[in-house]
Amino acid sequence: MENSGSPLIRVCELKKIYVQGKIRTPVLNGINLSVMQGEYVGIIGKSGAGKTTLVNMLGGLDDPTEGDIEIGGTHIQQLNEVEKARWRGTKVGVIFQSFQLIPGLSLIDNILLPADFTGRLRNGPNESREKAASLLETVGLADHMLKRPAEISGGQQQRVAIARALINDPEILLADEPTGRLDSATSATIFDLFDRVVDAGTTVVLVSHERSLAQRTKRIIRLAESKLIEESDGNHSGRTSV
Ligand SMILES: Nc1ncnc2c1ncn2[C@@H]1O[C@H](COP(=O)(O)OP(=O)(O)OP(=O)(O)O)[C@@H](O)[C@H]1O
Ligand SMILES: [Mg+2]
């Protein structure tokens, strides 16, 4: 997709300090980031650098201490919780590092949850179910549809989380260490899936502490010392360490 016009994601002077009693943990300190529609961006950084924190801010799942996030013209912090949830449900798919599956629901119902939430089920329950089943098949879990999360492996749970993030055809996919629990062959099928998602016009932000994985993206940004550092576009030689 042509990278012209204004950015889809615009992050301005973002700061995040976690405060627990008297303990203050500064994590992000003046982050600026612009991502164009259709871009495939990798964010790398060491464990504890703040990658998940940033994903949570981009998905409207947590509030920044300071700064602004504008996505598709919407200033996320100006939305109330209900508006945020609706916005996220229709625009954003999040693959959580910790999966966040609902234990009491079958795998297919976990995948259908965002569709249910945004009202698409009401528009076409069978269509949504077929789509969920097809996503389960794409991630190699067609035979496990009716199992509960506790009845499958960690890597299989991760693949359910991937399928769930895609059920509503999000404009933006936030993928937080999406292959952290997968073997290399299964990871490769997931990265092929992401390539197809990008080809379909979705903006993908992939987070990983592994540079080699992020090299599948078109642009790598490194999070270090609470700041984002843009790395050379299109020249991912892998020389620098995370
Ligand atoms: N809810 C919280 N309350 C307090 N501190 C937090 C909270 N969440 C994260 N932190 C701290 O913020 C820092 C960044 O955490 P974060 O999870 O964003 O790192 P990360 O880059 O995603 O790491 P990893 O690669 O291990 O997933 C860490 O020092 C962590 O301990
Ligand atoms: Mg993380």
What's the CA-to-centroid distance between 50 and ligand 2, angstroms?
Answer: 7
Ligand 1 in contact with 49 (CB < 6 A)?
yes
End-to-end CA distance of the chain: give it in Å, rounded.
Answer: 29
Banded pLDDT at 127 (limits 50, 70, 90): confident
This prediction's pTM: 0.93
Q: How confident is the model at residue 241 (pLDDT cuts 50, 70, 90)?
A: very low
Radius of gyration of the chain, Cα coordinates, nearest whole angstrom: 18
Task: Give residue 59 CA to ligand 2 midpoint distance, Å.
Answer: 14
Query: How does pLDDT run across 185-194, given as a tens digit for each residue?
Result: 999 999 999 9
Measured in Å, residue 207 CA sits from the centre of ligand 2 at: 8
**Pocket mutation for ligand 1, best pick of 16, 17, 53 (most atoms within 8 Å of C-beta):** 53
Atom nearest to 45 CA in ligand 1: 21
Residues 6+ apart with CB under 8 A from 233: 218, 219
The CATH number of the domain covering residues in 38-65+81-230: 3.40.50.300
φ and ψ at residue 100, rounded to 5 degrees: 55, 45
Q: CA-CA distances (angstroms) from residue 131 to 38, 59, 80?
A: 23, 23, 30
Q: How confident is the model over 98-113, as pLDDT tens digits?
A: 999 999 999 999 999 9
Ligand 1 atom 9: residue of nearest CA:
53
Closest atom, ligand 1, to C-alpha of 223 = 21
Residues 6+ apart with CB under 8 A from 171: 8, 37, 72, 91, 92, 202, 203
